[in-house]
Chain A
Amino acid sequence: MVPVSHILLLSTALFFIGMYGLFTRRNMIALLMSIELMLNSININFVAFNKYVWPGQLDGIFFTIFIITIAAAEAAIAIAIVINLYRSHLSIDVNDAAELKH
């Protein structure tokens, strides 16, 4: 039997891997990918809590679904922005993007 804490540790580790990526990457798409990792780690938590701690409810499941939904919406918008930036400045480096003043 796997204790719940191990699952939570897994998700925590995943979260901080995402965090590491967020700190080190400068490519915006890579940043986006790191964020996806972090969102996923949270999903794991929700599901694990729902399943092992409060199995009578479905809130964890629904939160997961909504997070996935929001992640999709967020990814769509973020990538639209990235592409727009790229097309106007030929770069998707955050440092370059930070200097932009529209």
Chain B
Amino acid sequence: MDISTIIFYLIAAFILGMALLAVTAKQIFRSAIWLLFTLIGIASLYFWMEVEFIAAVQIVVYVGGIVVLIIFSIFLTQQSAADMPSPKLGRKIAAAVASLLGLALCGLLVYEYGFSKTEATFDNEVSRIGTAMLNTGSDGYALPFEAVSILLLAAMVGAIVIAMKESE
């Protein structure tokens, strides 16, 4: 095992541990913080995979944006300090069993298929991404790129309409 492998397993353990904490924490604020660490862990996984751009996007959008928004909404709904009602034990067990079964099934599938790595190097320089994004040809992403702006516009308008409905 070389150092990079060790680091992968450390990161994986970190991600899973934090994710588990995130779904089991009693206080929702703490839950959000654990989610945050999960996301940071995933970002570092991307760094480990050397897809730096996605890693940075992950941090910018998820950590800097979505989690902040979630934290704000937690504050806004005054639930931050109260313990969340703990689910019934039966429900917990059922959920755990279902999840574990699903995990086993998928794990089996993954093992069955046994994806093999290609040795070709993966070039994900930002310039390559950018060129592809602006390319109007058939393998370019210009149209989705513009569509994203419309999606964002719609999301913004929708969210503003919904959020401001009550305050009128």
Task: Spell out A's residues near B (CB within 8 Å).
Answer: 1-10, 12-21, 23-27, 29-30, 32-34, 36-37, 40, 43-44, 47-56, 58, 61-62, 64-66, 68-77, 79-84, 86-88, 92-93
Contact = CB atoms under 8 A, between A and B. Distances in A.
28 contacts: A1-B5, A2-B5, A12-B103, A16-B106, A17-B22, A19-B99, A20-B95, A21-B23, A23-B95, A26-B87, A27-B28, A29-B28, A29-B74, A37-B22, A43-B54, A50-B122, A52-B117, A55-B120, A55-B121, A58-B129, A58-B132, A68-B58, A73-B151, A76-B159, A77-B155, A80-B163, A82-B77, A87-B167
Contacts of A10: 12, 15-16, 45
Dominant secondary structure of chain A at its interface with chain B: helix
Interface of B: 4-5, 8-9, 12, 15-16, 19-20, 22-23, 28, 31-32, 35, 38-39, 42, 45-46, 49-51, 53-54, 57-58, 61-62, 65-66, 69-70, 73-74, 76-77, 79, 84-85, 87, 91-92, 94-96, 98-100, 102-103, 106-107, 110-111, 113-118, 120-124, 128-129, 132-133, 141, 144, 148, 151-152, 154-156, 158-160, 162-163, 165-167
